[in-house]
């Protein structure tokens, strides 16, 4: 009778040792890794932006890049309201034909 109690208690400790690292692995694979990948892609996009590109800022402003300043890492975007100076890190994505969905290209 005492042997079965000790065996049951020992098995619970072993399963906890296996479950906790598995939880960290799942969190890494589904949350941390995709976020890191997104950050790398966004940084690459911000570095490769060219004049004339249609972009959207992180605050949702749509415009066209008219000037790039490499010295202070800024750019000037022309919007419907006029020209606005932004940090390159404020650019979220490009709205060119290669990035638009297929349905939008056909119209």
- Per residue in 49-62, pLDDT tens? 889 989 999 889 99
Spatial neighbors of 22 by CB under 8 A, at least 6 apart, are none
* Element of type H or E holding 11: helix 2-27
Cβ-contact 79, 61 below 8 angstroms: yes
Domain extent, residue 16, equals 1-48
Same domain, 44 and 1: yes
pLDDT value, residue 102: 56
pLDDT at 47 over 50: yes
Structure letter (DSSP) for residue 98: T
Q: How far apart are CA 99 and CA 47, in angstroms?
A: 17
In this structure, the chain runs to a length of 107
Q: How many structural domains compose the chain? A: 2
Same domain, 64 and 36: no
Q: Looking at the domain assignment, is residue 106 inside a domain?
A: no
Q: Looking at the domain assignment, is residue 87 inside a domain?
A: yes
* Pair of tokens at residue 7: 């065996």
Domain end position, chosen among 48, 65, 82: 48
Q: What is the CATH number of the domain that holds 93?
A: 2.30.30.140
């Amino acid at each position: 009778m005492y042997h079965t109690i000790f065996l049951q208690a020992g098995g619970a400790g072993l399963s906890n040792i296996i479950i906790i690292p598995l939880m960290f692995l799942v969190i890494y694979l589904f949350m941390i890794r995709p976020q890191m990948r997104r950050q790398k892609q966004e940084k690459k996009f911000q570095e490769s932006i060219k004049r004339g590109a249609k972009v959207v800022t992180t605050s949702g402003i749509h415009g066209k890049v008219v000037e790039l300043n490499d010295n202070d890492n800024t750019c000037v975007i022309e919007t419907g309201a006029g020209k606005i100076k932004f940090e390159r890190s404020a650019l979220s994505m490009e709205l060119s034909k290669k990035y638009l969905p297929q349905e939008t290209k056909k119209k």
